[in-house]
Amino acid sequence: MSSPLLALTPEGLFCPAGGFHIDPVRPVARALITHGHSDHARPGHHAVLATDETLGIMAIRCGETFAREKQAASYGEAIQLGDVRVSFHPAGHVLGSAQILIQGKHHGRQTRIVISGDYKRQRDPTCLPFEVVRCDIFITEATFGLPVFRHPDTRHEMERLLASHKLFPERTHLVGAYSLGKAQRVAAILRETGYDRPIYLHGAVDRLMEFYRTRGIDFGELRKVSASDRSKLAGEIVLCPPSAISDLWSRKFPEPVAAFASGWMRIRARARQRGVELPLVISDHADWDDLTATIIETGCSEVWVTHGEADALVHWAQTRQLRAQPLHMLGYGDEEETTEDGAEAMS
């Protein structure tokens, strides 16, 4: 037997022995979904296996009918699919996010493959922390796969937001934060730093905030921004989708300060290009130091890089005597980037 445990198909990663795809970009018979971001969790598959939280998020974003059959996987529970065993393990990316461990024959040898999905190692009070799963082949993302991406402590970034809030009490601070994961993390850490005013929400952020709340995460008082009160929100902090900070919507606020919470904000030219005045380096993804540390911790001998800045990470792995290859998978990326044009077109 020399068939691979995982193969690359136009739909995405496919496990022939188990008969399933992982995060496929086109409709398939059986999909295992790592997390609810729209580039990984797409509607139209026949059967979906994911964590309960991810299924809930998909139902909110794609409608209840996103798949014919839905099966919830608990973290750590082994599930037999065909000739392979799969299990879901926390990825620390967003609520419900998981790495998927597949155990089975790879070119005739019993092998453990971990598909990390998107992940991070920084602390996040809104989801379970990343769990290191030992494996032979580690399949990683590389959204921030360059050594210039080193995320600072999130609390420090939040203190910068509060310092600006204190210095400009007559202005509204608009914080662009992606509606799934980032907005909740920003709100939760704001509370940890002692910010006790109501946090205002753009309509697009509101639904998922509510979902997180039903899962037991407390954000203190949240208020929806209505069209009529925008001009009265001087001195408040408003969470909104990133595209909204430079959108028509932002105009009614008193002298808005455009803040943006994203790992991309590490690069000054990126922040400037987006017209951001207060770049906050807060990311859902592992930075360079965490990407490389994680590869070592998994004990893998082979690394596959799905998307992002693959070249640098592959080069680094090779200097560590690891087999490494870029998969150059299309259709994945930072959701903030991929949805920007769509949001812009609707404005």
For another protein, the binding residues (CB under 8 A) are: 146-150, 152, 160, 164, 167-168, 245-251, 255, 258, 266-269, 271-279, 309, 311-312, 315-316, 319, 347
Residue number, 149 or 219, with CB nearest to another protein? 149
Residue number, 66 or 316, with CB nearest to another protein? 316
Phi/psi for 60 (5° steps) reads: -70, -45
CB of 287 to another protein, least distance (A): 10
Residue number, 276 or 329, with CB nearest to another protein? 276
Is residue 193 within 8 A of residue 233, CB to CB? The reply is no
38 CB-contact burial (10 Å; exposed 0-12 / middle 13-18 / buried 19+): middle
Q: What does the alpha-carbon distance between residue 169 and residue 192 come to, in Å, rounded to a whole number?
A: 21
Interstrand relation of 84-90 and 79-81 (parallel, antiparallel or unpaired): antiparallel
CB of 199 to another protein, least distance (A): 22
Residue number, 220 or 275, with CB nearest to another protein? 275
CB of 322 to another protein, least distance (A): 15
Residue number, 99 or 250, with CB nearest to another protein? 250
CB of 116 to another protein, least distance (A): 21
Residue number, 147 or 333, with CB nearest to another protein? 147
Is residue 85 within 8 A of residue 111, CB to CB? The reply is no
CB of 74 to another protein, least distance (A): 35
Q: Coil, strand or helix: which one is 345?
A: helix
In sequence order, the 6+-apart residues with CB closer than 8 A to the CB of 329 are 8, 12, 13, 306, 307
Torsion, CA 162, CA 167, CA 170, CA 173, rounded to 10: -30
Residue number, 136 or 247, with CB nearest to another protein? 247
Q: Coil, strand or helix: which one is 317?
A: helix
CB of 175 to another protein, least distance (A): 14
Residue type, 24: P
Q: What does the alpha-carbon distance between residue 202 and residue 86 come to, in Å, rounded to a whole number?
A: 38
CB of 316 to another protein, least distance (A): 7
Torsion, CA 191, CA 196, CA 202, CA 205, rounded to 10: 20
